[in-house]
Amino acid sequence: MSLDPATVRRIASLARIRVEEREVAQLQNELNTILGWIEQLNEVNVDGIAPLTGGAQMALKMREDVVTDGGYPEQVLANAPDRAGPFFAVPKVVE
């Protein structure tokens, strides 16, 4: 599998990472190297083996349905680049 420059630009755009045109070729190389490594894994036969989902045979722990958190809007908003009263404010996004 080999990525073309258009795919590199698309991945960057989906991830909201700005990539300058001069960086595309290098990124294309690096990503292809990474994909090459991952393709090696495909050489291992895993027929009939369940995917490994963790390092230990554990299931998800559940918590009780109790309100134990929240109620600190100032802390939640503290790092916001912009706010309007109790709201986060962002550049307008509307259909």
Partner 1 sequence: MAYIIEGNTGAWEVVVGLEVHAQVISRSKLFSGAATDFGAEPNTQVSFIDAAFPGMLPVINRVCVAQAVRTGLGLNARINVVSHFDRKNYFYPDLPSGYQISQYQHPIVGEGRIEIELADGSTRSIGVTRLHLEQDAGKSLHDQHPTKSYIDLNRAGVALMEIVSEPDIRSPEEAGAYLTKVRSILRYLGTCDGNMDEGSMRADVNVSVRKHGEPFRTRCEVKNVNSIRFVMQAVEVEAKRQVEVWESGGTVDQETRLFDSARGVTRSMRSKEDAHDYRYFPDPDLLPLVLDEAWVEALRQDLPELPDPKKARFVGEYGLTVYDAGVLVAEQATANFFEEVAKGRDVKTAANWVTGDLFAALNRMGRTIEQSPVSAANLGKLLDLMADNTINGRIAKDVFTAMVETGDDPAAIVEARGLRQVTDTGAIDAAVDAVLAANPDKVADYRAGKDKLFGFFVGQVMKAMAGKGNPALVNEVLKRKLS
Closer CB to partner 1, 22 or 68, in the complex: 68
Min CB(39)–partner 1 separation in Å: 17
37 membership: H or E segment, kind and range? helix 21-41
Q: Which residues bind partner 1 (CB under 8 A)?
A: 13-14, 16, 53-54, 58-71, 73, 75-77, 82, 84-95
Closer CB to partner 1, 1 or 14, in the complex: 14
Based on the number of CB atoms within 10 Å of its own CB, is 8 exposed (0-12), middle (13-18) or buried (19 or more)? buried
Min CB(78)–partner 1 separation in Å: 10
Compute the distance between CA of residue 68 and CA of residue 47 in angstroms, rounded to an integer. 45
